[in-house]
Structure 1
């Protein structure tokens, strides 16, 4: 969301039962020691300047006992972009008196002294923030002598890539994979029956595309294609188009590869050019010519193809969901450094997918709903469809919580006192 975006009106009911509960849970159940106020405005008030939110709700109602930091540049935006504060010193006063403790950025450092000299903030405002900040540092043991002799003092850089940590990365990738479609048992594949596979798509042989926003350097670098080569001797990779944006394609080469292989696995989706901080998607379909590439490859393949989606947010793949020539759809998110390995394990049945969608997948037309309309409940009188699985009344591509498995199971409700079969 752009940093000058003004969030629309949010009702007290929506705040109480939708927006605030996750944060309340983090504070009360998770024992969070730090929270961040954003650069947006809720009901006209920047969140970092909202005393009701920071002091009354968080510190009062939730008994939050930690520090509150701003999102980066959130304090500057209050004056420089949003015009909520008449002067830079007013912005400093607004946030400190609201209950914010530390500014990500240099705005308070630049204008704090003049705000104090002008009487817009007091020594108590500053002391209150310092008490919260130093209390956290004390909890962390930063004043208990030399830090290298404290609890976490011996953690070295060479421990980052320890086997147990890499195993955890693999487990996280495995657990996050969601099987969305599996017609006629298209998956899992059998090592003994797959003599050749064509791996097609812009996301199939680029390890960096497995990583989401704000990633660090990975310990290993294995692309999905490289991982699949460990299962099939005859594996061919064809990019099909220039990148996830897919505005320059080589569909002919992809179609030829698909028609020659026993099985086809398509790796499509998005990348950081479509979704990351400060970048908003304008549509919900696959970008560029990806849909055309998928359909033409599916038409040319000997057997129903497998479509693997690498993306963080939802994409409208109704065309693939309804196409019988696409036998399976797998959503892997941005699975991280072990994602290529995890995907290959799922495709060949070494790991039984059990992931579930964390969000509703809306159809393409949902982009007609303004992103600044934050109402949760549907409004039939205006055609507003609502948001999230709790209130959305329109059609979906896939529902929140949806996900298949290779296992077959059933359940029934039994009356109290009856014995299980």
Structure 2
């Protein structure tokens, strides 16, 4: 694939506390607009050359509706000739935006595309669009009853035989690595301070979710998050959500509820953007790329188990690039839940020392539509910092899907 990343930039991630979070008072268009403004400052490209802006956003309602991508382009002061559109592949939306940008450039149809994502979860939290997991389609539920992600995560942990201690250990690892990365300035290259557009006051200049005081003892004391959810009656014959999950996977015997607030991703506000260019555009303007997009992929997986797609998407992208899992230096596997990363690592026989080396969404938060583009920047920064070559970014999504991208440092 002949598509190149010129640069990647992101906001800090803020805890999604309505009215209290550092970014909760900012209009989500402004959150994305400030991100877009950073790209020409960092690369000296003429934004009038941008062929399209592709933005992932999951909850496209109210202030995040009305094609937030186009309105953010206008809010950023970019030329009105620059088009933009929004997309939703749930948690994989930000990386799907990169995939479309890379495909457009590699095909020769476009020369310069911005891929990004935004989510202001302090305003629009989980299920803000009211669609739930399946849009309330009873006919579909007769084929696949898509239980909530927390139930799926606990079912995966049950089927894989992960213990509470293993999940807690992974949650602690995420916090410790994120705190270390922040202290060492590993995130600084891609970050910019978000400001109040009226006053210029800095609202947030660094990720605020990592908890440096996390201990194994504190994690062990947390109650499982999805016990009561699993007991909710939802089936047509009075089945609980746990029973519906077990109907699809009877070999589990029982759903062991193991995930807690310490082993699941936190909701967050944030935005990210990646500038993708063709080889011809780079040559014509004397620009140097940071990385090449070697391959991208998207897959469907079991909509009940839901969160096991990353291993499949990773293999598909690696096959397209002519690579094996062992060839990848760094992995960014979105930490939707601890079991997702552990299951993916087990399926691909990965050394965890190469996985999420600077922590992940358990510690840093998961602004749904933005996380994919944020992880691309995280991977590029770490490839350069550690002088390595290849990274793979992958995210699971609701409905049983996953996306992946293989990045090669230039």
- Structure having the higher strand fraction is 2
Pair in the same fold by TM > 0.5:
no
TM-score by length of 2: 0.23
* Highest RCO, 1 vs 2 (Cα 8 Å, sep ≥ 6): 2
